[in-house]
Every structure is written in structure tokens, then in C-alpha cells.
Amino acid sequence: MKLAVIVGTVRANRQSLKEAQWVLKAANAMDGVETTLIDLADYPLPFFSEPISPRNNPERKIEPAVQKWLDAISGHDAYVFITPEYNHSIPGVLKNAIDYLTTELARKPSTVVSHGTVGGARATMHLKEILSESRSVVIPYQVAFIGMSEGLDDEGNLKPELAANPYGPNAALKTALDELKWYSDALAAARNK
């Protein structure tokens, strides 16, 4: 499985990079998984203003910055979107980036790993709907990490007391990644037929 872990915020002093490192470490420990970190800070996109939906525009003219983003996101088998919760939803920069997509996520599984108030659960609900509209297969497992800022160090290592909890964040992440891999394998086989 070629897995893209997408950091969905560009805010100064963002905590999402810690969460992304945690996800990458867990995914890299799995057999048959190749990971790529995609940080939206590396893809400064203009506000979406194309005159026609990209899905319905055969004459679409893609700006170089947008093409760089599309090239980065395509070619993966599965996606983990890392998002904080801003005002009960996802960051605008993440929604803007998704608005540029056409078929890049189609028939490929995705999940959400969130943080913030109530673990970012409200952001997760919104993002799952958006990803579904992008024709991604949004798996039923996600991780809403309450207290992530204090629970992870800057390298994405879980604090020992959290790591020792057999029902804690590591267990939730393992379940989500295992399920994502299962869907990825099944959907890749179906797409290859």
C-alpha cells in the first residue's frame, strides 16, 4: 500500500506535524506499506476560483501550483488526512486543496486522524463527507485524539502513560491503519481488474 499522510493545516505553531509523525511511525512499522508525507505548507494554492467544476471541465487549464498538488496526491493507494478542528470544522486550506481534486481519490480508501476540542470529532465528520463526495471510500474507523498536544512529543512519540494503555491512542490508530490496509488491498485488486 502506497500511503499518503496529508497534513491539513499550514498555521504557525501547528501541532498537526506531531500527529503526522506518530501516524507515519505506526504505518512504517506495518508490512507492505510505503509512506509519503504531504504537507499542505509545501503546496501554497490560490483560493479555488475555477469557472467550472474541475470534474466537468474538459478544457480545464491547471495552474502550475495546482498541478504540483495534483501530482503529489495522485499515485497513492490510500490516504490519512491529519486535521485539527477549527471552529467546529476543518481548516479552510484543506477544503480549498480538496476542491481542486477530480479523480485522484476515486475508489481509494481514506481515513481521518484529528485533534482539537473533543479530539477534532466535528472536523472529522465534515471531512468524511467531503472525502466521500471526492469518491474516496471513507473507512468507518478514524482517530479523534483528545489531548494530542500534550500526549505526543515533537517527534510524534506517545507519552509512556498513554502508550501503556491497551485501549488508548495507539490501539485506535492500529485499528484504523489495519482497516485502511485491508480496504486498500481490496480496492487495488478491484481497480486492477
The confidence score (pLDDT) of residue 185 equals 98
For residues 37 and 146, give the distance between their C-alpha atoms in angstroms, rounded to a whole number: 22
Confidence of residue 171 (pLDDT cuts 50, 70, 90): very high
Mean pLDDT, the chain, integer: 96
Number of separate domains in the chain: 1
Only one residue has cell 467550472, namely 52
123-140: per-residue pLDDT in tens? 999 999 999 999 999 999
Of 80, 73, 78, nearest to 184 (Cα)?
Answer: 78
26-80: per-residue pLDDT in tens? 999 999 999 999 999 999 999 999 999 998 998 999 999 999 999 999 999 999 9
Residues 6+ apart with CB under 8 A from 21: 152, 155, 156
The confidence score (pLDDT) of residue 148 equals 96
End-to-end CA distance of the chain: 17
Print the domain residue range for 83: 2-191
For residues 79 and 23, give the distance between their C-alpha atoms in angstroms, rounded to a whole number: 11
Confidence of residue 118 (pLDDT cuts 50, 70, 90): very high
CATH of the domain at 82: 3.40.50.360
The confidence score (pLDDT) of residue 135 equals 96
The confidence score (pLDDT) of residue 111 equals 98
What's the predicted TM-score (pTM) here? 0.97
Distances (CA, A) of 4 to 74, 125, 177, 189: 9, 20, 12, 19
Helix (H) or strand (E) holding 78: strand 78-84
